[in-house]
Structure 1
Amino acid sequence: MTGRIISPSIEDFSKITPPLNEGEEKVFHLFNNNLDKNWEIYTQPFFNGKRPDFILLNPNVGIIIVEVKDWELNTLKDQQSHNKHNVPVNYLRNLKENIFDMYCPTLAQKGLNAFAAIETVLFYPKIIEDDLKNIYSKIAEEPRAYIFSKDDLDSNNLDKLKTHQYKSSKLMAIEDADYLRSWLVEPEHSIEQRTTIKFDRHQKELIEAQNLRRRVRGSAGSGKSLVLVARACRLASKGKNVLIVHFNNALNSYLRDLSTVIDRKIKNKIEFYPLFQKFKDILLENNLGDKYDETWAKHKVDQEYTDTTLDTPLNEIAKLLINNSDYLPKLYDAILIDEGQNFDPLWCQALEGLLKHDGEMFLAGDHTQDIYEKNILWNNYEKKINSQSIISRGWKGFRGRWFELKKSYRLAPEIADLCQVFTKDFLFEDPMLTISQQTEIPYRSDLKWVQVNKEAIIQYAFDELFNLHKKYESKAVSMTDIYALCQYRRIGIELSNKLEEKNIKTSNTFDDNGYKERKKKYYFMKGSERIKLTTFQSIQGREIKAAIVIIEHASSPIDFRNIYTALTRLKKDEEEVSKLTVVCSEQKLESFGKKWPKFETY
């Protein structure tokens, strides 16, 4: 059957995780060979925490939810004996109600009759019809719910399905299909797992070079993190002990995911740590744990939060490690520091105490995203290096000038130009590197600025969040690819609560308990099957294709650098559109917002 929308494509079926079993493959081919070409087939769609085997969608007819149980009869009877044989039926019934109420609410607006636009199929490819009738006699009477057997599969027959015989229906419209499709299209994270990454000449030079002590800086989207992780993978593949360290807890899972894309076999051979967690582990493992606890207690700082209030205790801990460096085990052949603009040079010196003789240290950063005001410390570091005062204390430090990655591979010219304007108008010092140099890439972006009153910012953010999923030309954005980037935790918590009231689950980095919040940041994964909410700080280092940026206030240089960080997270997509909507209540930024392709004010 040609001309059908199949997601993911048949060519990528071998790469689906978990892979299709024999029964699921047979059922897929049954549908693909017999359904009208207007029926779209979505395999294992990410569905807000659920993952049915198939969703069949015809914009003119209806929706079919399919669950395949590749069980033998004895397995089904065993499930029956434990009163669990109705579990898949209940699962389908619940998902049908969720689609009607939440994922395709335009259907519900038509009234309860529209519930008939959704059918369910429970398929047993290995069990014959008569055996199933004995077990599912009552369930078989439920309207629009069908049990399919081995007989149906062998006879290549879909006649049980009423909608299979229709060309159109008054209950279903293209608008309904567009809304649902945003939950069905394959999310970016799954596609990335099958993507081969290409590097330019300068990136390859950094990845393949011999022992390095180098600092690399580049604009947003220049591939700094990608190069850093690729180098780590290359070293680990040679049997080297490698540590990747960063300041942002929420970056941990992203970097691990990135290593999987580069080399799936290597991920578990690299250590990934937030800085303070690594400091803590080293002290605990070397009988200095009491000093760690004393330091935090003395400054009365909640060690779970990563802001500038951590500087003093982290500096004291770094000095403790430096003073005891002769006694610390030399664990690593290489230490690579991502988002290095967030690091105090003193912390790097402390980390060097964990390096083996002639080990390498690699730091990547973008000083335009200096959200913790560390630029001045690196300027002082440069002066000390020149005077050799640091080297005389035993720190090898970094050598030579910054290596620059000058091309942005992520930002389209349209958003890059806007960010350049923002840099000139609102960052009160010249950035060390701009994002003006672009590669020629096919790229479409949908950029919108919404200026609102502060009191209404949550409601407008909520509304715009759901506008993001709408089709652009022929493509829809997966709901699981959408991020809400919040200037403050308070905004994120309010928006998350509002979504939860509508039964829309979220993956977020917020919790009133500091310990639990830190854990949520560790496992803030791109592959989560939910809409994602986080802060400007916690999104640093990541790249995303669809986002709402919520700005409430801006006055200080840190405010503007945080906003710049959020605006530069948008990434290119060579096949689909990338979307960025800003919802802003800060009047100082209204004139900047009017320069965007779409501007609305309320």
Structure 2
Amino acid sequence: MSKSKSGDATSPIALDFYVIERMDKRFRGDSQWEVGKISRQLTQQDWAVAYYNYPFRPARNEFDNSPDIVLLHADIGLVVITCRGYGIDEIGRVTNEDWEINDEYDRPVPEVQEQLAHVQSQLTGVADLMNFPQHGALIGVVALPEITREEWDNSNYPDLNVEILFEEDLKNGPFKEALLDAAGNVSIPDQMFKKARKRMNQGDLLSAERDPIREEQLSHTRSSQYRAAARGFELHEQDKVQEQIGLHIPPGPQQIRGVAGSGKTTIMAKKAAVMHYKREDWKIAFTFNTRSLYQTIGKTITEFYRDFSNGEDPGPNLEILHAWGKNPDFTAENEQARGLYREIAMEMNVKPYRITHESLGFPSLNSHCADLINSNKDIPELYDAILIDEAQDFGPAFYRMCYEALREPKRLIWAYDEAQTLNKLSAPSPKLIFGEDDAKNRSVDLSGFYEGPVRKSFVMRQSYRTPRDILMAAHALGMGLYRDEGVVHTLTDKTDWDSIGYTVQDGCSFAETGSEIRISRNRELSPHPLQSRVDPGELLTYSFHDDLSDEAQTIAENVIRDIVDEDLDPTQIMVVCVGPKDYADSSIGPARNVRAKRIVNAINTHADQKLNNDSLARIATEGSRDEFWKEGHVTVAGTDRAKGNEAASVYVAGAEQIAFSNWEEAHSESGLTWRENYVQVRNEAFVALTRSEGWCHICGIGDISSPFLKEIVKVDDVISQENPVFVFDAPSPKEMTGEITIDETVPKYEVHQGDLTEYFD
């Protein structure tokens, strides 16, 4: 790899220096941080990445430390550095085995050798990287920033089996030259370096396979195109922001805001695995709202942890807990009874309330958490870290309960997308959750950085899972941008649109009600590979039907076609039914449960005829509620069960239901305004569409005169253009009681290197 290419800032590899955690280590003092700053300078100038307290360490050995610094450099190779802060006067005897330090013993040489061997084994364990040592050097370094080379030489210490870098070497220019000299003449091919970079951040664990599918292997089936997207075209590649979030261990609360498909659940799972691996004595809880995510979250955390730990499973101190839990007397044998609310209540000797599925989670769970907070008993500090996925689904009392259940420094970490909430409007901002003191100072301030530096708040704008056409359609339909009666809820600020990946065109202003607004989605923020392989609008289709039987038959025929003609596996197909679960008023059409059963029956009837299989489809609530997928089956679910799961081919049934805004009133007095109630309905449409990793077909009963079906046609006309642009009238702020709330502490853009300069001076 040429030196000129090393400095190419437009290269597809994220250039950065990742501080996993700032921590005190024996014999280091300030030396590790000083050497870390020098290593970071290489990542700013060259094609390189460096990790501070890298989360790999050999299992079951005497060295309890993660590598101080791991550097992967295109012109050098793999470098593992251990740092020592003592001076020459503190050192007695020195050998390859141990050094005598002020009547103590230190073993820096075997430590760095073992760490290098471990990281090397992780790197070369992938077939494409087995030959990495033939192209890049493998260097173990002991860095001694408080000792000069002259002082060392005058002490007549023996030659050692690692590189030693001294005070004069640990400056920007000499540091790189010293490593280049140690590496010799190396040449790492571009593709090998990219794969090594990906292996270092566990990016290959996110892809279906590590080996890419070749272009000549592609056919015209959906299965072939989907496999190509998931494998060779990096559907699940981590970007710079994702890697920062997944690796950092914050010394306090942290919030993560991301659009649908940005990888929030996966990155939170990685973060939990990193924390548990590095701090096995910590008690950590990972909690969430959608019970069917147990399957996905448990699998993902285990994959990451096994990769860190040479195949070991996570230990008991990492708990995956649903937000509320169930009474064991009402829990099936194959279901998880424990939940975070329940565990905390039991520890307080308070009988936990039974929170029913029909209550939709948020209102009753929030009130019961508030009861715990307002009781005359203190909430016990049970955990060292709590990670909340689907955080938009929880109310302030749930957060406060979690916060009080944490030991200092209160590592409460939550990830959310306010567009995916099924029960309220506002984002879970620190101000809303924790409030302010009498002087208007926030009780929890998440602006800026912790020492490290570790950002307190992140925004993830890139959507990898859902193709651009479908994501744009989901936003337009979810906000009602093309609704005849006007927008339901939307962003009313250019920077807020930018924070979710859209550009408001020049000349457009939300300040003037009724003025024309034109927005487009940046292509680079929707890098889904299928988008470039099909015609505009091809990934999103729709059909309208005379009755439920016709809709169910159409879905069944398409599902069988997906399996027989498109070669998709049944577990790559999902049907999402929108609408209320059940109600007495049949004038608004079939309830979700009725619709789901009819669709399952239709699919199984067709499958019996075509595939000799009369049980191909199943409703997600059959069996354990903690599982969503079942091998060999197509899953049919409501949005509350489907949320958090995804499939290559998604069918959204019951689209005509989105025109109604009184679902909640069918069950209980919700106390919501008309617009607030309607936003919940619209968010169901958004969640349903964004379950798609490839194709989405929307079905509904009615014709073009049906209000929501008319919107579908308008939106489809826009996204079928080569460069789609949404055009709508700026709404009146007074009418936007349902305006999406953006927390001002969340950064509007990704982290730029300039933001961090002060921390490395």
Kept after mapping to 2: 8 A contact 1:185/1:478: no
**For residues 143-542 of structure 1, what are the structure 2 equivalents within 5 Å?**
198-209=237-248, 210-238=250-278, 239=280, 240-264=282-306, 265-267=312-314, 269=316, 270-277=318-325, 278-289=340-351, 292-293=352-353, 296=354, 303-305=356-358, 307=360, 310-323=361-374, 327-375=378-426, 378=429, 381=432, 384-385=435-436, 396=444, 402-422=457-477, 423=479, 424-425=481-482, 428-431=488-491, 434-435=500-501, 436-437=521-522, 438-443=525-530, 444=533, 446-455=539-548, 456-471=550-565, 476-487=567-578, 488-500=592-604, 502=608, 503-510=614-621, 520-525=624-629, 528-542=631-645
TM-score norm. by structure 2 comes to: 0.46
Q: Which amino acid aligns with 1:205?
A: Q
Query: 2:257 is aligned with what amino acid?
Result: R
Q: CA deviation at 1:484?
A: 0.9
Aligned equivalents of 1:467, 1:528: Cα separation in 2: 19
Partner of 1:111: none
Q: Secondary structure at the match of 1:305?
A: helix
Amino acid at match of 2:356: Q
Distance 1:399 1:330 in 2: 25
Closer, same or farther: CA 454–228 of 1 in aligned 2, 3 Å:
same
Q: What is the deviation of 1:287?
A: 2.2
Q: 1:130 aligns to what?
A: none
Matched position secondary structure for 1:336: strand
CA 284–493 in structure 1, closer or farther in 2 if over 3 Å, else same: farther
Contact 2:540 2:696 in 1 (8 A): yes
Shift of 1:559: 1.5
Give 1:185 shift.
9.4
1:544 corresponds in structure 2 to 647
Q: 1:522 to 1:185 in 2, by over 3 A?
A: farther
Task: Tell me the alpha carbon deviations over residues 444-485 of structure 1, each in whole angstroms, 9 at most, x when there is no partner.
Answer: 46332111124332232222322333545xxx2112211111
**Hey, what's the Cα distance between the residues in 2 that align with 1:185 and 1:267?**
34
Deviation at 1:374, TM superposition (A): 4.4
Aligned residues of 1:197 and 1:262 also touching (Cα < 8 A):
no
CA distances 1:504-528 after superposition (whole Å, capped 9, x unpaired): 24343336xxxxxxx6321223x63
Query: d(CA) in 1 for partners of 2:372 and 2:256?
Result: 25
What amino acid is aligned across from residue 550 of structure 1 in structure 2?
A
Does the CA-based 8 Å contact 2:430-2:446 persist in structure 1? Answer: no
Task: Give, in whole Å, the separation in 2 of the partners of 1:271 and 1:208.
Answer: 19
CA RMSD of aligned residues (A): 3.6
Q: C-alpha distance in 1, partners of 2:464/2:235?
A: 15
Give, in whole Å, the separation in 1 of the partners of 2:635 and 2:628: 8
> Matched residues in 1 for 2:617 and 2:421: separation?
29
TM-score by length of 1: 0.57
Q: 1:508 to 1:464 in 2, by over 3 A?
A: same
- What is residue 132 of structure 1 aligned with on the other side? none
Deviation string, structure 1 residues 135-157 (Cα, Å, up to 9, x no partner): xxxxxxxxxxxxxxxxxxxxxxx
Could you tell me whether the CA contact under 8 Å between 1:325 and 1:353 is conserved in 2? no
Decide whether the 8 Å contact of 1:489 with 1:510 is kept in 2.
Answer: no
Q: CA, structure 1 residues 337+388, in 2 after alignment: closer, same or farther (shift >3 Å)?
A: farther
- Residues 371 and 561, structure 1, Cα contact 8 Å, conserved in 2: yes
Match of 1:579 in 2: 695
Deviations 1:388-434 (A, max 9, x none): 77977xxx575668421111122222223323432433561114654
Preserved contact between residue 492 and residue 510 of structure 1 (Cα < 8 Å): no
SS at match of 2:529: coil
Aligned pair in 2 of structure 1 residues 441, 580: CA closer, same or farther (>3 Å)? closer
Structure number with the bigger relative contact order (C-alpha 8 A, sep ≥ 6) is 1
Please give the alpha-carbon distance, in whole angstroms, between the structure 2 residues aligned to 1:415 and 1:374: 22
What's the CA shift for 1:336? 0.6
Contact 2:650 2:689 in 1 (8 A): no
User: Residue type matched to 1:461 in 2?
Assistant: I
Whole-angstrom CA distance in 1 between matches of 2:314 and 2:651: 31
Partner SS state of residue 375, structure 1: coil
Aligned partners of 2:376 and 2:254: how far apart in 1?
22
> Aligned pair in 2 of structure 1 residues 372, 196: CA closer, same or farther (>3 Å)?
closer
Q: Secondary structure at the match of 1:421?
A: helix
* Residues matched between the structures, number: 384
Counterpart code for 2:699: V
Would the aligned equivalents of 1:248 and 1:306 in 2 still touch at CA under 8 Å? no
Task: Give the AA of the match of 2:244.
Answer: E
Per mean C-alpha deviation after superposition, the further-off stretch among 458-467 and 199-208 is: 458-467
- Structure 1 residue 565 corresponds to structure 2 residue 687: yes
What secondary structure, in the 3-state scheme, does the structure 2 residue paired with 1:566 have?
helix
SS at match of 1:280: helix
SS at match of 1:542: coil
> 1: CA distance between counterparts of 2:573 and 2:691?
12
C-alpha separation in 2, matches of 1:256 and 1:377:
25
Between the aligned partners of 1:312 and 1:440, the Cα distance in structure 2 is 37
Larger displacement relative to structure 2 (276-285 or 375-384): 375-384
Identity of aligned residues (%): 17
Distance in 2 of aligned mates of 1:379 and 1:490: 41
- Structure 1 pair 325/389, CA: closer, same or farther in 2 (3 Å)? farther
Q: Distance in 2 between matches of 1:390 and 1:561?
A: 33
Deviations 1:198-224 (A, max 9, x none): 422111222222324111111111111
Q: 1:380 to 1:458 in 2, by over 3 A?
A: farther
Is the partner of 2:682 in helix, strand or coil? helix
